[in-house]
Structure 1
Amino acid sequence: MAAGVQAGIATAAARAAHWPWWVQVGGLYVAARFVSACIFMAAALHQGVNPWFPATPDYWSFVNIWDARWYGEVLLNGYPDVLPTDGAGNVQENAWAFYALFPLLGRVVAGVTGLHPAFSLTLIAMVCGLGAALVIYRLFRHKASHQSALWGTAFVSTFPVSPVLQVPYAESLNLLLLAAALLLVVTRRYLWALPVVILMCLSRPTGVPFAAMAGLLFLCRGWQYHSASRGLARGQTPDPAGGLTHTGVMPSGAPAGGAPHTGAQLWSLAGLTAVSGLGALMWPGIAWAVTGDIRAYTKTETVWRGHDLVPFKPWFDTGILLFGPVLGVLAPFVFAALFTLLLMSRPVRALGTELQLWCACYMGYLLLFLHPQTSTFRMMLPLFPLALAAALISRSRAYRGTVVVMFVLLQIVWIVWLWAWAPLPGGGDYPP
């Protein structure tokens, strides 16, 4: 009987391999979200007393908690004109910590369809998650074979925090826009990326690392352009594979990922860098314009961490809390060194300069500004290109299948430990 089941699975897999790529990716993503939904529903059965609803809630109530309530608040009531403060003048939690694009789309969908705001936000999150999976596959396909790109997309779809892609959070919208922007950068369509990046900067705070990535990429491609120009001046001829040849030898300055940029492409990349930088400042600027406080956004954002924004310091504070006064100080340096080694590994180098730079800049951004806590796991989602690197480690189906199974098991841990509410002895709970 077991042999018959295996044969049936093999036959179904062989048939699915002939489906169009978008059907394969869409089916894979929908299946992943169904598994996550089952985990949510099972966890909801054990949900006790909590700040939002009675015990043992239904699925829709269970996924509309935590930050989902803040997005619903923005959808219904917008943003405050004056920052709320306590008696001592300290800024309190408020909606300015949550970017506007996601709740604005929710308001449009709710107005057009008549759906309840919570349902409209959930619908947008689910559709954007599916769109993100399709775009991620197309991005991965530029770097790997169909099978590896599909497995990489499967890793993203089943990642331990991937359930957040089907709840009313802005992660799925931001992931869609980020993947689209990176795809346009990889294919050198920099001007097309401009509106995508602007929207991305209004969905979640990914504008700063994207601007840093674009700037470093401009410097890299500018150097290659300069090297190629000098080679032409010495009488060398362009090589179709990228770079210049003279007696068939690839010069040291030739790019590995294709022909050098043209002057027009460099100017377009410079424009993208400038727009990305301005886009990163757009939401703090809007908060300033509305409230009259130049630090409205940063004051609001730091309310949740309980102290002012001091670059790098929270990582050392957390390290000392977890590992003691000596090892805790060393922990951030060890983490940064290990991540650097990861970026230099063969599978990550196979991603290409653009995706390597994005991962480096985003992690640098987290080290600079993030307060590490349980929400940090969710903040790692924009590092999704590393999923393709993980798929490229081995072509073994056993290895790749084991990764997916482990990710699904870790989804159970994430939902039960962080999404479900279980009050701590001192009050509150760890945020997802």
Structure 2
Amino acid sequence: MDGSPFRPTKVWRVKKVRNSRTGQVLAVWAAATALSFIILRLGAQDTPATNWGQAAPSWLEHMAFWDAGWYERVSREGYPETLPTDPSGRVSQNTWAFMPLLPALAGALGWTGWSFYACAALVAIIASAGAAVVMDRWLAPRTGPTASLWGVAILWTSPCAAILQVPYAESLGLLLVGATLMLADRGRALTAIPFAVLAAFARPVGVPLGAALCLWWAFEEARARGWVPHHWYSRLLPTHTPTSAGQHPRLAILALTTCAAALSWPVIAWATTGRMDAYTATETSWRGEHLMPFTPWLVRSQWWVGAHLGWMLVLAVLALAALVLTSRSLRTLGAPAWFWCAGYMLYLLAFFDPTTSLFRLLLPLAPLAWAAAQAAGSTRRRLAVIAAGVVGQLLWVSWVWDLGSISIRWVP
């Protein structure tokens, strides 16, 4: 002993800093989540009687609204071996449209004696907190710690943020996709595989996640082979360090595994029911037509603004997507964030029927909250973004989650 005072080890100091940072992120998350909870409870007091509960429903009745009932049915009944059909022979709505991870995790809490809805809401809230921490650890090195905290605040006060604390799988999907991309961004593609596989069984995000990873791998491979000039790469992704040649095979394995996981659920549905189109026929039963890529946007645009303005709405949406993807604030978040947003937007344009559920399905574009925090720059502008999100949340909770049950034109 040299008599010198005790000095904590480097590992201890790193853990202390990380724990302090986690506490900051969770504090911001908790404040935003508490605000959404208050909005939900106050909105419930103005909600009339519905198929799910009496007027002014209790918290538990409020948690049973909309698709939460389908997840409860999965937990209680599982998935049908014979697909239900209507009198015309078309497949009717059934549980194959809902992934099994949330019901499985909620079912694992059955020992508590709580109802399914309470258990599923608890899973959603824990996953929501985990997603905030993961997203911060992934993107804070790109944006800086202060802007990243604003990113958490912006996302968790956005118009559909309340869905992250109800028995829906959005928060699980956000956590698992964020973990996958964070690990891949840090060169740990093989470690990310379990998270990518679980993501594919939490929400139907396996296809866009696999597409994003494949596009990222192809771009990195093209750069390594000299097919993409260096100045193009640096212009598209100004802050991203190109992956090393040794990481390319691992990234390819992650991408292919994710694609396989995304295809496994339709295969499981096929093997169980005997119908090759069991999953896609179930998914499209909500829209009443067969799966036809891209066409729902052209059809649904007429529902939104009329037949003569519909094509202009589609063009405006495409222009908005292009502007978002070319914004510097998004491109500085690195390759995984950029390719994920690009892949997910392409997925929505190709396969999604743009009803009012579109607002909820934009939540996986979470990196845009961090891009907005960067682009806003000043505290005043960031507060304005948050205020706009809260206004949107008030309208979404009241018009869609609460009163949408009266007029099914508005669905979450």
TM-score normalized by the length of structure 1: 0.87
Residue 156 of structure 2 corresponds to which residue in structure 1?
157
SS of the residue corresponding to residue 192 of structure 1 reads: coil
Kept in 1: contact 2:238–2:331 (CA 8 A): no
SS of the residue corresponding to residue 368 of structure 1 reads: helix
Give the structure with higher Rg (CA): 1
Task: Tell me: CA distance 1:306–1:259, structure 2 relative to 1, closer, same or farther (3 Å).
Answer: closer
Kept in 2: contact 1:84–1:91 (CA 8 A): yes
Residue 410 of structure 1 corresponds to which residue in structure 2?
392
- The one-letter code of the counterpart of 1:190 is A
Residue 350 of structure 1 corresponds to which residue in structure 2?
332
1:81-118 CA distance string (max 9 Å, x none): 111112332211111110011101111121x4332211
Task: Tell me: CA distance 1:351–1:423, structure 2 relative to 1, closer, same or farther (3 Å).
Answer: closer
Task: Tell me: CA distance 1:422–1:276, structure 2 relative to 1, closer, same or farther (3 Å).
Answer: closer
| Aligned-residue offset at 1:330 | 3.2
Task: Tell me: CA distance 1:258–1:368, structure 2 relative to 1, closer, same or farther (3 Å).
Answer: closer
| Aligned-residue offset at 1:315 | 0.6
Kept in 2: contact 1:320–1:326 (CA 8 A): yes
* Structure 2: runs of 5 or more not aligned: 1-16
Q: How does 1:219-258 map to 2 (within 5 A)?
A: 219-227=218-226, 256-257=238-239
| Aligned-residue offset at 1:393 | 1.1
The 1-side partners of 2:383 and 2:55 are apart by 36
| RMSD of equivalent CA atoms | 2.2
Q: How does 1:156-195 map to 2 (within 5 A)?
A: 156-195=155-194
Residue 278 of structure 2 corresponds to which residue in structure 1?
296
1:114-150 CA distance string (max 9 Å, x none): 3221111111011000000111111111211110111
- The one-letter code of the counterpart of 1:377 is F
Residue 78 of structure 1 corresponds to which residue in structure 2?
78
Residue 270 of structure 1 corresponds to which residue in structure 2?
252
1:257-288 CA distance string (max 9 Å, x none): 45543333111011111111111101111111
The 2-side partners of 1:422 and 1:302 are apart by 21
Kept in 2: contact 1:140–1:152 (CA 8 A): no
Deviates more, 1:325-334 or 1:401-410: 325-334
Residue 364 of structure 1 corresponds to which residue in structure 2?
346
Residue 59 of structure 2 corresponds to which residue in structure 1?
59
Residue 101 of structure 1 corresponds to which residue in structure 2?
101
Aligned residues: 394
- Say whether residues 1:133 and 2:113 are aligned partners: no
- The one-letter code of the counterpart of 1:90 is R
| Aligned-residue offset at 1:331 | 2.3
Residue 303 of structure 2 corresponds to which residue in structure 1?
321
| Aligned-residue offset at 1:80 | 0.9
Kept in 2: contact 1:227–1:253 (CA 8 A): no
Residue 10 of structure 2 corresponds to which residue in structure 1?
none
The 2-side partners of 1:260 and 1:363 are apart by 23
Kept in 1: contact 2:213–2:255 (CA 8 A): yes
Task: Tell me: CA distance 1:156–1:252, structure 2 relative to 1, closer, same or farther (3 Å).
Answer: closer
Kept in 2: contact 1:50–1:421 (CA 8 A): no
Deviates more, 1:32-41 or 1:18-27: 18-27
TM-score normalized by the length of structure 2: 0.91
The 1-side partners of 2:95 and 2:270 are apart by 14
The 1-side partners of 2:71 and 2:41 are apart by 22
The 2-side partners of 1:196 and 1:406 are apart by 33
| Aligned-residue offset at 1:410 | 1.3
Residue 411 of structure 2 corresponds to which residue in structure 1?
431
The 1-side partners of 2:285 and 2:159 are apart by 27
- The one-letter code of the counterpart of 1:139 is W
Kept in 1: contact 2:239–2:333 (CA 8 A): no
* Structure 1: runs of 5 or more not aligned: 1-16, 231-242, 244-249
| Aligned-residue offset at 1:423 | 5.4
Task: Tell me: CA distance 1:179–1:267, structure 2 relative to 1, closer, same or farther (3 Å).
Answer: same
The 2-side partners of 1:59 and 1:179 are apart by 29
- Say whether residues 1:90 and 2:72 are aligned partners: no
1:153-179 CA distance string (max 9 Å, x none): 111111110100000000011110011
Task: Tell me: CA distance 1:113–1:33, structure 2 relative to 1, closer, same or farther (3 Å).
Answer: same
Residue 41 of structure 2 corresponds to which residue in structure 1?
41
| Aligned-residue offset at 1:354 | 2.0
State the percentage of identical aligned residues: 37
| Aligned-residue offset at 1:323 | 3.1
Residue 377 of structure 2 corresponds to which residue in structure 1?
395
- The one-letter code of the counterpart of 1:175 is L
Task: Tell me: CA distance 1:252–1:117, structure 2 relative to 1, closer, same or farther (3 Å).
Answer: closer
- Say whether residues 1:312 and 2:311 are aligned partners: no
The 2-side partners of 1:428 and 1:324 are apart by 19
1:324-349 CA distance string (max 9 Å, x none): 33431232123112211221122122
1:328-378 CA distance string (max 9 Å, x none): 123212311221122112212211222111111101100000000111100
SS of the residue corresponding to residue 56 of structure 1 reads: coil
